[in-house]
Amino acid sequence: MITQLPRTAEELHALPREGRRAVVMTMGALHEGHATLIRTARGLVGPEGQVVVTVFVNPLQFGAGEDLDRYPRTLEADVELAGAAGADAVFAPSVDEVYPGGEPQVRITAGPMGERFEGASRPGHFDGVLTVVAKLLHLSLPDVALFGQKDAQQLALIRRMVRDLNFPVEIVGVPTVRQGDNIALSSRNRYLSEADRATALEISRALLTAATAEELGAGPVRRSARAVLDAAAAMEPPLVLDYVALVDPADFTEVPDDHTGDAVLAVAARVGTTRLIDNIPLTLGGPR
């Protein structure tokens, strides 16, 4: 069980540290997907290392009309889950600790890669994500940082930022955790009614159906996914598609129909008032 709950960088840096430090960055409302990240982190640094979970609801990555105020804040439960999964400390800074003096005047910009797909749907979102990730990397000083592959575009951008700006940290992506019905774990799943969830399941079904066509190439993958998603648009409540894209995982540009090798099939859609994202990594033109 965790005994450490530092609220400032000074308190975090004062913790005894031996071996490597791994950090798992979250906005709280932890679930089994986060627990998997924490367990993976523990495995990477070993029993002598230190695992720190950050809990910070970052206002910079919420756009106008998004759910900053509605975002669940469950710190006590988060500390319990993190400790059970193997974390040594939960770093839960205030907004003033992360952004002293108010919103930062200098920020990280995600560039063209951050303007596609999620970035197009949520302008400025990835600038806010990269800015807080950069800040938290500086505040927590980890050797390795772990992020879920469910947020595939975010993971790609963080990797690019770390490479382009020479951050001395290893970035590790951890596969998406799914529940028994194959829905990707997300803190936003709690907003889904029973009927909403039945519709939302069509997102993962589209991805898994498309994956069966990966050896046939990009065209069959796109058509397979689209057929499932189009049918879901007629359900009650309907699936309102934002985008379905088959992209290069390195830069999130759409791959051509003759592309072979690694790709990511990504979907974003709204069910009722809840916006959901999911993706699956593929190897086009070859076996999984």
Among this protein's residues, is 125 annotated catalytic? no
Q: With beta carbons less than 8 A apart as the criterion, state whether 23 and 90 touch.
A: no
Q: What is the 3-state secondary structure (H, E, C) of the chain?
A: CCCECCCCHHHHHCCCCCCCEEEEEECCCCCHHHHHHHHHHHHHHCCCCEEEEEECCCHHHCCCCCCCCCCCCCHHHHHHHHHHHCCCEEECCCHHHHCCCCCCCCCCCCCHHHHCCHHHHCCCHHHHHHHHHHHHHHHHCCCEEEEECCCHHHHHHHHHHHHHCCCCCEEEEECCCECCCCCECCHHHHHCCHHHHHHHHHHHHHHHHHHCCHHHCHHHHHHHHHHHHHHHCCCCCCEEEEEEEEECCCCCCECCCCCCEEEEEEEEEEECCEEEEEEEEEEECCCC
- Catalytic residue selected from 34, 125, 138, 259: 34
Query: In whole angstroms, what is the distance from residue 5 CA to residue 11 CA?
Result: 9
Query: Tokens in use for 215?
Result: 């050896």
The angle, 0 to 180 degrees and rounded to 10, between the axes of the packed helices 75-85 and 32-45 is 40
CA 84, 89, 92: angle at the middle one, nearest 5?
Answer: 110
Name the residues annotated as catalytic: 34
